[in-house]
Amino acid sequence: MTLDRSLKGKGRLGRARGVLSRDERIAKMREEDRFPEGRSPFGLPKIRVAKISTGKKKKAKDETAEGAAGAAAPAADAKGAAAKPAAKPAKK
């Protein structure tokens, strides 16, 4: 029997949080000197979490040229082209 999704992983959140908690906001504001001593911890502005993007790795120019040459070789093969059936026309 499977476990319901709501019962899994109580200690962790499934997605990234959009804003920080009150304690985290106060700590961040103190780092930026935006939270003076004696200020009320209520009514703080929301502070967005900086998203970390890993991005895709870029291939070197040499690897790209070798990959293109390697992909062109099978297409030039006459036996491979004759063995494949013709593509079906696209439906509208």
Distance in angstroms (rounded) separating the CA atoms of residues 51 and 17: 10
Q: How far apart are CA 5 and CA 13, in angstroms?
A: 12
Both tokens of residue 67?
A: 């990959």
Long-range own/partner contacts, residues 78-85 (CB < 8 A, 24 or more apart)? none
Encode pLDDT of 44-82 as tens digits. Answer: 998 888 777 666 777 666 655 555 555 555 555 555 555
Most confident of 15-19, 27-31, 51-55: 27-31
Residue 74 has a pLDDT of: 56
CA 79, distance to chain mean position in Å, is 41
Question: Which helix (H) or strand (E) segment is 26 a member of?
Answer: helix 22-31
